[in-house]
Amino acid sequence: MKPVKSIVVIACVAVLGMGLAVYHYSSKQTQQQQEPAQQPASTQSQTEPQGTAPATELPTPPVSDPLWLPNHRLQTILKDKVDVVFLDSQHGWKMVPGQGATTNEPADIYRTADGGKSWAKVATADQNNVSAAESTNLPAGTLPYGGVKNGLSFVNDSTGWITGYVPRVGYQWIFVTNDGGNSWVHQELPVPKDVPGYTSMTFDVTPPAFFTSEDGVLIEEIAEAPQGKAHPTYVFFYTSDGGQHWEEKPAANLSLTVSNSNSQQSSPSISVTVNGTTWQTTDSGYSWTK
């Protein structure tokens, strides 16, 4: 009887082992079916084909609908060469530069009226356009190929600016539109009276920031000056009429404070107080915080 009992015990153990194995396999299969498959991390191309909109999904624009722009820059030209600004939750513009020569840069300007779901190209700058040094009034839908584009900003749904840099003495690279970005003209800035040799210098212009629908500031960095000539690193232009006119002297309702501004520091801390509200930038005016 002992051999028979041993056989029965061995058989029971075998059946139990097979049962556990089947249960473990079945549980693992069920767990794999319930768990979502992990997708490999996507890689985003660092360059976009010239003349096309970026494939990347844009951040959600602000929900509020104020009349000023400082906090509405969703991406900046300093980070990824794509500049995106929104007036409100629906209306925005973006500039997509391409690859050009050292001081020439193609760019496409797009506009959205549905919060970034769709974009329409409204202007372009390519090698067929005139250089910045020769441009005064441009054909509709064009911008000069010449000049490195810094960024853009809008004060309302029709008026906006694109700024940049070109190594031309006494020339400020700033273009304005009054039809939502379809046509652009070069805008002249006044010559500051307290900057010696201003007309013999070159400049790098930051897109203007508007703190109300009328009050704004435009920061111009002196990029190069004749050797031996003293000059401030930055020149500040102000407007109190929505950008129709700019003046180097602060307007009555604007005050300016610059901290740690010297020729060795490229991005000082700048504060602008408008009607009792103070805004600050640490990146030469590309982004502002209260």
Percent above pLDDT 70 for the chain: 66
Phi and psi based region of residue 192 (left: phi greater than 0; alpha: psi -120 to 50; beta: remaining): beta
**CA nearest neighbour of 279 among 221, 209, 231:** 209
User: Quick one: CA torsion of 246, 79, 282, 277, rounded to 10 degrees?
Assistant: 60
Name the amino acid, one letter, at 169: V
- Structure-token pair, residue 201: 């210098």
pLDDT digits (tens, 9 = 90+) for 18-44: 443 434 434 434 443 444 333 333 333
What is the structure's pLDDT at 71? 53
**Predicted TM-score (pTM) above 0.95:** no
pLDDT in tens, 210-263: 888 888 999 998 888 877 777 778 889 999 999 999 998 777 777 878 775 544
Beta bridge partners of 125: 107
| Confidence tier at 282 by pLDDT (50, 70, 90) | confident
**Cα distance from N-terminal residue to C-terminal residue, the chain:** 92
* Averaged confidence pLDDT in the chain: 74
Closest CA to 79 of 59, 101, 60, 63: 59
3-state secondary structure of 133: coil
Q: Which two tokens stand for residue 190?
A: 């006044």
Q: 96 with 139: CB under 8 angstroms? A: no
Which of 23-27, 155-159, 202-206 is predicted with the least confidence, judged by mean pLDDT?
Answer: 23-27
Q: Helix or strand or coil: residue 16? A: helix
Are 171 and 205 in contact by the 8 Å Cβ rule? The answer is no
pLDDT attached to residue 98 = 84
* Spatial contact of 78 and 283, defined as CB atoms under 8 Å apart: yes
Confidence of residue 16 (pLDDT cuts 50, 70, 90): very low
pLDDT computed for residue 100 by the predictor? 73
Q: Measure Cα distances from 252 to 30, 110, 212, 239 in Å.
A: 72, 35, 14, 10
Domain locations in the chain?
73-253
